[in-house]
């Protein structure tokens, strides 16, 4: 058996050799190697002679720690969650303890207000308000609750870097240190005119409030990644596989491609695959956002983690592990959340200089106040400047909104690949739709049946459907499906023959029939005459018309067309209302193209476009109109256009290549998702702008105010404790504002 | 007199802060495909050089409990990874364009660079 685990505590390459030697000496270990660079050990051992425990102990004997996880299934997400939980517990303890101490310190620091209240226990109050008592009460707040500020400051200073914690540490240390000096050397200092004031309350209250702020911020921030957590929890844990004729439940990670899996009603489909036996209706809403369950039969694809509603079926596993659609979605969403939105650039630049600049401003504040003869006020204002400055709000403004926004999208079947697509989508003013598969369902269906003479519709359909039984043509499938829908019984066909480019022929009850285009009728010398008028008017609507005849006369015609998706028309109307110009692009001829565009309400048509020309047309639109162009498509040949557009929108029902090239992928067939994606982008951007404005305005206004710039005009000064409150509130408000996106109506 | 002294001391402090934080120089070192970065009060080394059009791996080991550093983000490579304390985490970078890319912590307080040559 082989295992590898991280080793903690190595300082140099010789440590690695030491651990290696120790491991090799352990009974049962056949081989061991320790890598100092990656700080991991890989060990080969005989499970009969030793176990993970003895290996861990062996590493410990050498003086190091082996981070062997007892639960091998622990994902990085789990580790993160556990770490966050521990952090929250720690923060909570510190907030409560320092809260209680700070309350006592506050009471003791203002005898002019509270001495009367505690008149009944005046001895106790005298003790509480004694500077030494205040020092004793503040010390744990400063160095235990505030330990993390010092740690972070110290490690930062070693690398000549500064953070938020540096400001807090410097600010509170100044207040605490000054008070400590006054307490210990009060008498000596007062003789040289040193002011006898103490700021234990300020230091303690600042630390408590900032920690409280961090506690709420950590809680709120945990919710920004709710969408990913929700997706991860969708994953089924086991699968019921049929191997060697026996059904067994096995953990999902043991399923291999090609396994036949049984799914019963109410169960989760474990992995992606294709139904081999049975039918059912499946709730795919968790992945596609589509609320209506989808009916599936043999040969249809099923998505892992969706829920089987009614029937029992067998399916063959095709994609497992990280290849499943759900894993891809999780990967895509978390990758998108790690990208940078262009709007963030300014905030990024500012935060690089922020903390050192604030430190300089704080020094300047003290000097100016001192020079004007107010040393004590200068000191207080300096602390206020250090405390109020909030680079966190700047850092959180964009990423939290992007996280919630992309998560919100994923819940509705809108996958956003990167932050910049999300940002650009709100500026779209031209959108080009590929026709087949995007605006239309991509599958032809029967639209019209016109019988001639004494025949009825069902006769024409019955004969055509019978003839088409042997055909694999997509038009034949459409007729077959239509006949099945209308419960038409099909007759046995003999002498079936496909005539390439023309149609088909066959005999039913010893009568010969022909089914195909004009050319077929011509070769059989059958006059189209009476049907010509109906035929050409249907063709003008962009439909494909097939004629059915006996050996002598035309019996009827069937028109087939790739129909518009039901949501196409309403989507075009909404987009037009939003001021977006809608185009349709297709390889079809002008006549068909215009007919389809008209029924969707689209007036701008690019017809007869060869697949390789699509990207050129997009570039043309981008250049000519100086507009922000989106392209929505689904096929492999759409990939260059998807990549070339300002925003590429791929239909999730399309090909992997198309999805790969697009910035936004819609997992459901509902075209209104295009509108939702644009709305989501608009709302996310609105939130980001509010956050950035708030974060910038907060610092730009409050830093000067806390330095006392308004004092000469209005007499306003800012108490450092209030500064701490404002600072804690500003980070929380930014995260809270981003979380509002969860409730957004898209 | 004391005002003059305080003013001079103040100006010196401001100059000192400027020098301390903005005057540091970062060495990028030789281009290589495997790097180990210790996350301790920043990124050590703070600048790494990797070759273009090749896969490189970077192993981060966080030794600093500061929660600011718990996440490393290299946005241009779509990397945002949680770094558990004292546990090495390896990410792979497959650059296709030479340039300098920013690497920073979750709160954008600590910065490093990935130089692609």
What average pLDDT score do residues A455-478 get?
Answer: 83
pLDDT at A334: 78
Q: Are the Cβ atoms of B109 and A160 closer than 8 angstroms?
A: no
Q: How confident is the model at residue A217 (pLDDT cuts 50, 70, 90)?
A: confident
CB-based contact, B78 to chain A, within 8 Å: yes
User: Does the pLDDT at position A690 exceed 90?
Assistant: yes
Checking if the pLDDT of A273 tops 90, the result is: yes
DSSP A253: G
Q: How confident is the model at residue A289 (pLDDT cuts 50, 70, 90)?
A: confident
Chain A residues inside the 8 Å CB shell of B90: 38
Residues A704-739: tens digit of each pLDDT:
999 999 999 998 888 888 888 888 888 889 989 999
What is the model's pLDDT at position A704?
Answer: 94
Q: Which of A361, A393, A380 minimizes the C-alpha distance to A699?
A: A393
Q: How close, in Å, is residue B41 to chain A by CA atoms?
A: 4
CA distance A725 to A731: 11
Predicted pLDDT of residue A625: 61
- The top-scoring range by mean pLDDT among A94-103, A188-197, A654-663 is A94-103
Chain-centroid distance, C-alpha A170: 38
- How high is the pLDDT of residue A73? 55
- Neighbour count for residue A712 (Cβ, 10 Å): 9
Q: Are B33 and B51 in contact (CB under 8 A)?
A: yes
The verdict on a CB contact (< 8 Å) between B20 and A352 is: no
Nearest-CA distance from A691 to chain B in Å?
15
Q: What is d(CA B68, CA B64) in angstroms, rounded to the nearest whole number?
A: 9
> pLDDT tens-digit profile of A146-156?
998 898 888 78
Q: What is the pLDDT of residue A93?
A: 95
Is B87 at the interface with chain A, CB within 8 A? yes
Cβ density class A382-404: b for 16+ within 10 Å, e for less: bbbbbbbbbbbbbbbbbbbbbbb
CA nearest A152 in B: which residue?
A: B66
| pLDDT band, residue A533 (cuts 50/70/90) | confident
- The dihedral over CA atoms of A122, A125, A131, A132, expressed in degrees to the nearest 10, equals 100
Give pLDDT, residue A729: 87
Indicate which of B13, B35, B78 best probes the interface with A, i.e. most A CBs within 10 Å of its own CB: B78
| Cα dihedral value A592, A441, A416, A618, nearest 10 | -10
| Contact criterion met (CB < 8 Å) for B87 and A156 | no
Average model confidence (pLDDT) across chain A = 86
- pLDDT value of position A653: 62
Q: Name the residue with higher pLDDT: A537 or A339.
A: A537
Give the strand pairing for A65-66 and A2-8.
antiparallel
Select the more confidently predicted residue: A590 or A90. A90
Over the stretch A235-248, which tens digit does the pLDDT of each residue have?
888 899 998 888 89
What confidence category does residue A404 fall into, taking pLDDT thresholds of 50, 70 and 90? Answer: very high
Instruction: Over range B54-62, report the average pLDDT.
Output: 88
Q: Do A39 and B70 touch (CB under 8 A)?
A: no
Which of A434, A562, A638, A670 is catalytic? The answer is: A434
**In whole angstroms, what is the distance from residue A514 CA to residue A208 CA?**
88
Asked whether the predicted pLDDT for residue A338 surpasses 80, the reply is: no
Q: pLDDT by residue (tens digit) across A128-137? A: 999 999 999 9
Shortest distance between the Cα of B45 and any Cα of chain A, in A, equals 10
Residue A362: pLDDT above 90?
Answer: yes
Highest mean pLDDT among A26-30, A679-683, B59-63: A679-683
Compute how many other C-beta atoms are within 10 angstroms of the C-beta atom of residue A9.
Answer: 15
Task: Please indicate if any CB of chain A lies within 8 Å of the CB of B91.
Answer: no
Q: Report how far residue A102's alpha carbon sits from residue A137's, in angstroms, rounded to the nearest whole number.
A: 8
Q: Which residues of A touch B75 (CB under 8 A)?
A: 338-340
Q: Residue A694 class from Cβ within 10 Å (0-12 exposed, 13-18 middle, 19+ buried)?
A: middle
Q: Within its chain, how far is the Cα of A145 from the centroid?
A: 35
Q: Give the residue-averaged pLDDT of B23-39.
A: 81
Asked if the model's pLDDT at residue A327 lies above 80, the reply is yes
* Cβ-nearest to A79 among B24, B46, B84: B84
SS3 A268: strand
What would the DSSP string read from start to end of A456-510? -HHHHHHHHHHHHTT---HHHHHHHHHHHHTTPPPPP-EEEEEETTTEEEEEETT
Instruction: Please determine, for residue A542, whether its predicted confidence score (pLDDT) is greater than 80.
Output: no
What does the angle CA A381 – CA A386 – CA A390 come to, to the nearest 5 degrees?
Answer: 130
Confidence of residue A560 (pLDDT cuts 50, 70, 90): confident
Cβ–Cβ gap A392/B59 under 8 Å: no
Residue of A363, A385, A695, A727 best to disrupt the B interface, most CBs of B under 10 A? A363
Query: In B, which residues are within 8 Å of A335 by CB distance?
Result: 78
Query: Which region among A179-188, A655-664, A682-691, B67-76 has the lowest average model confidence (pLDDT)?
Result: A655-664
Residue of B6, B7, B37, B41 best to disrupt the A interface, most CBs of A under 10 A = B41
Residue A690 CA: distances (Å) to CA of A32, A342, A436, A450, A511: 56, 16, 40, 60, 76
**DSSP-assigned letter for residue B13:** H
Q: Is B26 on the interface with A (CB under 8 A)?
A: no
Q: Does the annotation mark A418 as catalytic?
A: no
Candidates A163, A228, A419: best to mutate against B (most CBs of B within 10 A) is: A163
Whether residue A370 and residue B3 make contact (CB cut-off 8 A), yes or no, is yes
Cα-based angle A389, A390, A391 (whole degrees, multiple of 5): 115
Residue in chain B closest to A359 (alpha carbons) equals B17
Please, are residues B40 and B63 in contact by the beta-carbon 8 Å criterion? Answer: yes
Chain-centroid distance, C-alpha A1: 38
Contact B87 A154 (CB under 8 A): no
Whether the CB-CB separation of A314 and A261 falls below 8 Å is answered with yes
- How does residue A115 score in pLDDT terms, banded at 50, 70 and 90? confident
What is each CA distance from B88 to A62, A313, B44, in whole angstroms? 20, 44, 14
Cβ-defined contact of A163 to B109 (cutoff 8 Å): yes
Contacts of residue A386, defined as CB under 8 A and 6 or more positions apart, other chains included, come to A167, A168, A170, A171, A174, A358, A359, A362
**Other beta carbons less than 10 A from residue A331's beta carbon:** 12
Residues 6+ apart with CB under 8 A from A284: A290, A293, A294, A303, A306
- Contacts A353 to B, Cβ<8 Å: 22
Closest-CA distance, A560 to chain B, in angstroms, reads: 46
Instruction: Check CB contact of B25 with chain A, cutoff 8 Å.
Output: no
Q: Which residues pair with A324 in a beta bridge?
A: none
Q: Is A113 exposed, middle or buried (0-12, 13-18, 19+ CB in 10 A)?
A: exposed
Does the structure show a pLDDT above 70 at A38? Answer: no
Chain A touched by B45 (CB under 8 Å)? no
Question: CB under 8 Å to A634, separation ≥6 — which residues?
Answer: A434, A437, A438, A442, A650, A651, A653, A654, A655, A658
Of B17, B61, B88, the CB nearest to A360: B17
Residues of A in contact with B20 (CB under 8 A): 160, 356
pLDDT tens digits along A55-94: 888 887 777 777 765 554 566 667 777 877 888 899 999 9
Question: Coil, strand, or helix at residue A601?
Answer: coil
pLDDT of res. B27: 66
Are A348 and B102 a contacting pair at CB < 8 A? yes
Do the Cβ atoms of B41 and A154 come within 8 Å? Answer: yes
Question: How far are the Cα atoms of A149, A381, A727 from residue A711, in angstroms, in the given order?
Answer: 31, 11, 21
Confidence (pLDDT) at A100 = 96
Residue of chain A whose Cα is closest to the Cα of B40: A155
Query: What is the tens place of the pLDDT at every residue in A373-399?
Result: 888 889 989 999 998 988 878 888 888
Question: Of residues A521 and A143, which shows the higher confidence score?
Answer: A143
Residue A274 has pLDDT above 90, yes or no: yes
φ, ψ at A652 (rounded to 5°): -65, -20
- State how far residue B82 is from chain A, nearest Cα, in angstroms: 7
Q: What is the structure's pLDDT at A13?
A: 61
| C-alpha dihedral sign at A11, A12, A16, A21 | negative
Overall average pLDDT of the B6-12 stretch: 95
What's residue A664's pLDDT?
92
If you ran DSSP here, which 8-state letter would residue A244 be given?
Answer: T
- Helix A672-707 vs helix A720-739: crossing angle, to nearest 10: 180
Question: Cα A247 vs. chain centroid, distance in angstroms?
Answer: 37
Which residue among A164, A363, A399 places its CB closest to the CB of B109? A164
């Amino acid at each position: 058996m082989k295992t590898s685990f991280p080793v903690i505590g190595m300082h140099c390459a010789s440590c690695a050799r030491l651990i290696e030697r120790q491991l090799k000496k352990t009974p049962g270990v056949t081989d061991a190697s320790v890598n100092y660079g990656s700080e991991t050990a890989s060990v080969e051992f005989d499970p009969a002679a030793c176990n993970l425990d003895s290996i861990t102990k062996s590493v410990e004997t050498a003086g190091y720690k082996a981070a062997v996880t007892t639960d091998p299934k622990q994902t990085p997400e789990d580790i993160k969650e556990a770490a966050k939980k521990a952090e929250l517990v720690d923060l909570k303890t510190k907030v409560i303890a320092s809260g209680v101490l700070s309350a006592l310190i506050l009471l003791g620091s203002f005898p002019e207000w509270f001495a009367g209240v505690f008149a009944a226990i005046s001895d106790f109050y005298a003790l509480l308000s004694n500077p030494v008592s205040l020092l004793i009460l503040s010390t744990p707040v400063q160095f235990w609750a505030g330990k993390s500020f010092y740690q972070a400051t110290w490690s930062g200073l070693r690398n000549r870097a500064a953070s938020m914690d540096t400001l807090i540490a410097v600010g509170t240390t100044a207040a605490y240190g000054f008070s400590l000096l006054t307490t210990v050397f009060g008498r000596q200092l007062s003789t040289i005119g040193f002011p006898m004031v103490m700021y234990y309350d300020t230091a303690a209250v600042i630390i408590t409030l900032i920690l409280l702020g961090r506690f709420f911020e950590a809680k709120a921030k945990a919710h920004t990644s709710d969408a990913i957590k929700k997706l991860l929890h969708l994953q089924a844990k086991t699968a019921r596989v049929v191997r060697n004729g026996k059904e067994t439940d096995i953990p999902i990670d043991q399923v291999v491609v090609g396994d036949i899996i049984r799914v019963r009603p109410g169960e989760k489909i474990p992995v992606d695959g294709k139904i081999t036996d049975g039918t059912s209706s499946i709730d795919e809403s968790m992945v596609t956002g589509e609320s209506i369950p989808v009916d599936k039969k043999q040969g249809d694809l099923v998505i892992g983690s969706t829920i089987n509603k009614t029937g029992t079926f067998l399916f063959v596993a095709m994609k497992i592990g990280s290849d499943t659609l759900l894993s891809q979605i999780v990967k895509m969403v978390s990758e998108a959340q790690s990208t940078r939105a262009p709007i963030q650039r300014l905030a990024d630049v500012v935060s690089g200089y922020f903390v050192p600049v604030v430190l300089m401003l704080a020094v300047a504040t003290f000097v100016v106040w001192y020079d004007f003869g107010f040393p004590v006020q200068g000191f207080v204002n300096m602390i206020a400047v250090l405390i109020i400055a909030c680079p966190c709000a700047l850092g959180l403004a964009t990423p939290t909104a992007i996280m919630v926004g992309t998560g919100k999208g994923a819940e509705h079947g809108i996958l956003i690949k990167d932050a910049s697509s999300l940002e650009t989508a709100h500026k779209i003013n031209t959108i080009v739709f590929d026709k087949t598969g995007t605006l239309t369902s991509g599958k032809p269906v029967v639209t019209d049946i016109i019988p001639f003479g004494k025949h009825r519709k069902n006769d024409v359909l019955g004969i055509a459907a019978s003839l088409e039984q042997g055909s694999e043509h997509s038009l034949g499938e459409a007729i077959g499906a239509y006949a099945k829908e209308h419960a038409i019984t099909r007759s046995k066909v003999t002498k079936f023959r496909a005539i390439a480019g023309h149609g088909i022929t066959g005999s039913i009850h010893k009568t010969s029939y022909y089914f195909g285009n004009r050319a077929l009728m011509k070769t059989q010398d059958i006059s189209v005459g009476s049907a010509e008028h109906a035929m050409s008017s249907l063709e003008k609507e962009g439909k494909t018309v097939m004629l059915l005849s006996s050996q002598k006369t035309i019996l009827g015609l069937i028109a087939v067309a790739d129909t518009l998706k039901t949501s196409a028309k309403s989507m075009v109307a909404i987009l037009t209302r939003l001021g977006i110009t809608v185009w349709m692009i297709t390889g079809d001829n002008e006549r068909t193209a215009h007919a389809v565009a008209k029924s969707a309400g689209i007036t701008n048509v690019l017809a007869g476009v060869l697949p390789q020309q699509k990207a050129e047309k997009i570039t043309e639109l981008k250049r000519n109109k100086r507009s922000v162009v989106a392209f929505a498509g689904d096929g492999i040949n759409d990939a260059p256009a998807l990549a070339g557009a300002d925003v590429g929108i791929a239909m999730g029902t399309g090909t992997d290549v198309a999805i790969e090239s697009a910035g936004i992928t819609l997992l459901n067939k509902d075209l209104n998702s295009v509108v939702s994606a644009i709305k989501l982008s608009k709302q996310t951007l609105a939130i980001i702008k509010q956050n950035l404005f708030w974060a910038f305005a907060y610092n730009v206004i409050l830093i000067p105010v806390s330095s006392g710039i308004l004092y000469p005009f209005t007499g306003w000064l800012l108490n450092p404790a209030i500064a701490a409150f404002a600072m804690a509130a500003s980070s929380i408000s930014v995260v809270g504002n981003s979380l509002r996106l969860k409730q957004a109506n898209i | 007199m004391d005002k003059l002294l305080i003013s001079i001391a103040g100006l010196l402090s401001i100059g000192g802060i400027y020098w301390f934080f903005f005057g540091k120089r970062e060495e990028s070192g030789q281009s290589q495909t495997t790097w180990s970065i210790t996350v301790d009060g920043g990124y050590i080394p703070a600048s790494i050089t990797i070759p273009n059009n090749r896969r490189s791996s970077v192993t981060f080991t966080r030794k600093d409990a500061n929660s600011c550093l718990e996440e490393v983000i290299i946005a241009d490579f779509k990397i945002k990874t949680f770094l558990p304390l004292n546990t090495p985490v390896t990410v792979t970078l497959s650059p296709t364009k030479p340039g300098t890319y920013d690497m920073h912590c979750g709160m954008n307080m600590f910065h490093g660079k990935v130089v692609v040559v």
